[in-house]
């Protein structure tokens, strides 16, 4: 989000005064009216910048947030974007692609049904409501003529072949590229205890409001209207339009435009801000999950899991000793090619997360399954097992069994009637 021009509050850009003269690349480089970058465009431009930085004898530092993008940058086969664009359509806009393949603009249900037809294995990996991933997978098939699941299978075979290679000298010489990493990489993961983190995230939103969040969101609403008046189509499912802080605020501005009474509008504002806080907390949770599962799995396959270091930022009073000094020491050791400490040795939180990473790999195979009783869709073995053992599922199952009993459409009601008759038979007359 920080690649988009302006909006320093919504995108939480580091202020110029805090950059200490250090060049920050790819900030404020995409106009709000421009087509959002694809992950392949990001990887291409970022790789070019990294090459330039290294040619000057400097150290490139990739600062993340959006782990899907940084993952695609670090690992050569992390994305299928190159397969999507191999036919020369890389400069074709999303609108033109949807004109060429109308199915891409239809409802999520229709797109998912089509993906189930052409590549049921790939469809089973996505939640039926995850429009962007479903659309992306179908787009791969439409543009390349190949099943995305087949492409993934080929990538897996390539990685497996590299692991099983008996020519260790060749494996050593090819180095990180054969193992999947584009560059020798060290990863520093800033984390904090959950209760402290939630409080900070809530306060962060409050600070954003003080710094002008509402005004920035209103400006985006006005920009969207102006672009519409100019006949410029805006895909609000991508880019800056899905940023936390805007999409939650937009309904508030719609309400304010039509509501006369100020009190409901004020209440709507508080509701919108609470949605921003909740969205921020959910995003932090997804970031944590991405690192523990997807990134950790990729690092393990590349034999580089020992390069992921969690730094405990729970106590800001201990920042120097808990974060700054250990991170500087680890970076120096890494650059000198010397032995690194064990990641779990840094803190109690690091030990806990190391264990969570090990547990996170158990039962994480993504397969869409629906509990017909609860009308809920689960995506992994672990989630499915957890749901089956949950109190809510057991309660719904018990209710379903009662409903199926012969002559007993609602046992709970009949029990209440029996109790009423015992207490006061005459009450049934009223």
311 beta partners: 190
Q: Which domain holds residue 385?
A: 366-429
The whole-angstrom separation of Cα 295 and Cα 364 is 13
Asked if residue 398 is part of any domain, the answer here is: yes
Give start and end residues of each alpha helix (H) in 25-100. Answer: 39-55, 67-74, 81-84, 94-100
The neighbouring-strand residues paired with 366 are 380
378: enclosing H helix or E strand: strand 376-380
Does the residue 358 lie in any domain? no
For the record, the structure tokens of 56 come out as 């000057």
Cα dist. 111→135, 168, 296 in Å?
7, 45, 31
Q: What are the pLDDT digits (tens) for 53-69?
A: 999 999 999 997 788 88
Instruction: Please give the tally of structural domains in the chain.
Output: 2
Q: What is the spatial distance between Cα 214 and Cα 145, in angstroms, rounded to a whole number?
A: 45
- Does residue 173 sit within a domain? no
Q: Do 300 and 311 touch, CB atoms closer than 8 A? A: no
Three-state DSSP class for residue 310: strand
Distance of CA 384 to the CA centre of its chain: 20
Which conformational region is residue 257 in: left (phi greater than 0), alpha (psi within -120 to 50 degrees), or beta?
alpha
Which of 252, 283, 314 is the last residue before a domain boundary? Answer: 283
Instruction: Give domain status of residue 247, yes or no.
Output: yes
The per-residue b/e assignment along 196-210, b for 16 or more CB within 10 angstroms, e otherwise, is: ebbeebbeebeebee
Domain-terminating residue out of 283, 299, 328? 283
- Give the other-Cβ count within 10 Å of 302's Cβ: 21
pLDDT at 293: 84
- Rounded alpha-carbon distances, angstroms, from residue 94 to 85, 253, 293: 12, 28, 31
pLDDT at res. 414: 42
Q: Which of 283, 302, 334 is the last residue of a domain?
A: 283
Residues in the chain: 430
What is residue 79's predicted lDDT score, i.e. its pLDDT? 60
Distance separating alpha carbons of residues 220 and 249, to the nearest angstrom? 10
Distance, in Å, from the CA atom of 81 to the CA atom of 77, rounded to the nearest integer, reads: 10
Whether 67 maps to a domain, the answer reads no
411: Cβ contacts below 8 Å, ≥ 6 apart? 402, 405
Q: For position 409, what pLDDT does the model report?
A: 53
Other CB atoms within a 10 A radius of the CB of residue 145 amount to 9
| 156-190 pLDDT tens trace | 676 666 555 544 544 444 444 445 788 899 999 99
- Please give the pLDDT value at position 105: 82
CB atoms within 10 A of CB 343: 21
**Contact at 8 Å (CB) between 98 and 138?**
no
Q: How open is the CA angle 163-168-169, to the nearest 5 degrees?
A: 140
- For the chain, which residues score pLDDT lower than 70? 77-99, 156, 158-179, 257-265, 359-366, 407-430
Strand partners, 310: 189
User: Which class for 155: exposed (0-12), middle (13-18), buried (19 or more C-beta within 10 A)?
Assistant: middle
Please tell me the chain's helix, strand, coil percentages from 3-state DSSP, rounded to the nearest 5: 60, 5, 30
Assigned domain for 104 exists:
no
Residue 313 lies in a domain: no
For residues 361 and 296, the answer to whether their CB atoms sit within 8 Å is yes
Backbone CA torsion sign across 282, 111, 293, 85: negative
> Which one-letter DSSP state was computed for residue 405?
S
CATH code of the domain containing 227: 1.10.287
- Whether the model pTM is above 0.85: no
123-127 long-range contacts, Cβ below 8 Å, gap at least 24?
Answer: 123/368, 124/366, 124/367, 124/368, 125/366, 125/367, 125/368, 126/366, 126/368, 127/368, 127/377, 127/379
Residue with tokens 């990863």: 187
Residue 401 lies in a domain: yes
């Amino acid at each position: 989000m920080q690649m988009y021009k302006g909006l320093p509050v919504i995108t939480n850009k580091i202020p110029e005064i805090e950059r200490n003269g250090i060049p920050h690349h790819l900030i404020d480089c995409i106009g709000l009216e421009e087509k959002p970058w694809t992950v392949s465009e990001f990887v291409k431009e970022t790789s070019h910048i990294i090459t330039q930085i290294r040619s000057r004898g400097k150290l490139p530092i990739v600062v993340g947030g959006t782990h899907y993008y940084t993952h695609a940058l670090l690992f050569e086969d992390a994305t299928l974007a190159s397969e999507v664009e191999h036919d020369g359509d890389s400069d074709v806009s999303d609108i033109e692609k949807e004109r060429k393949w109308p199915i891409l603009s239809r409802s999520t249900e229709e797109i998912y049904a089509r993906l189930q037809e052409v590549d049921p294995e790939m469809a089973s990996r996505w939640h039926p409501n995850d429009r962007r991933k479903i659309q992306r997978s179908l787009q791969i098939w439409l543009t390349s003529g190949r099943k995305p699941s087949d492409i993934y299978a080929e990538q897996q075979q390539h990685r497996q072949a590299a692991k099983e290679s008996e020519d260790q000298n060749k494996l050593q010489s090819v180095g990180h590229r054969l193992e999947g990493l584009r560059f020798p990489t060290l990863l520093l993961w800033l984390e904090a205890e959950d209760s402290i983190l939630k409080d900070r995230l809530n306060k962060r939103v409050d600070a954003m409001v003080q710094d002008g969040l509402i005004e920035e969101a209103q400006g985006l609403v006005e920009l969207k209207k102006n672009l519409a008046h100019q006949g410029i189509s805006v895909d609000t499912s991508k880019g800056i339009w899905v940023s936390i802080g805007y999409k939650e605020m937009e309904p508030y501005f719609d309400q304010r435009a039509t509501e006369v009474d100020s009190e409901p509008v004020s209440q709507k504002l508080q509701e919108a801000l609470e949605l921003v806080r909740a969205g921020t907390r959910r995003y932090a949770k997804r970031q944590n999950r991405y690192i523990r599962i997807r990134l950790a799995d990729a690092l393990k396959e590349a034999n580089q899991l020992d390069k992921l270091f969690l730094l405990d930022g729970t106590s800001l009073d201990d920042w120097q000793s808990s974060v700054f000094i250990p991170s500087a020491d680890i970076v120096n050791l890494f650059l000198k090619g010397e032995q690194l400490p064990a990641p779990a040795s840094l803190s109690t939180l690091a030990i806990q997360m190391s264990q969570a990473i090990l547990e996170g790999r158990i039962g994480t195979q993504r397969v869409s399954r629906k509990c017909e009783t609860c009308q809920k869709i689960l995506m992994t073995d672990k989630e499915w097992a957890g749901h089956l053992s949950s109190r809510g599922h057991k309660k719904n199952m018990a209710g379903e069994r009662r409903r199926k009993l012969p002559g007993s459409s609602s046992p709970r009601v009949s029990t209440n009637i029996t109790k009423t008759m015992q207490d006061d038979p005459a009450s049934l007359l009223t």
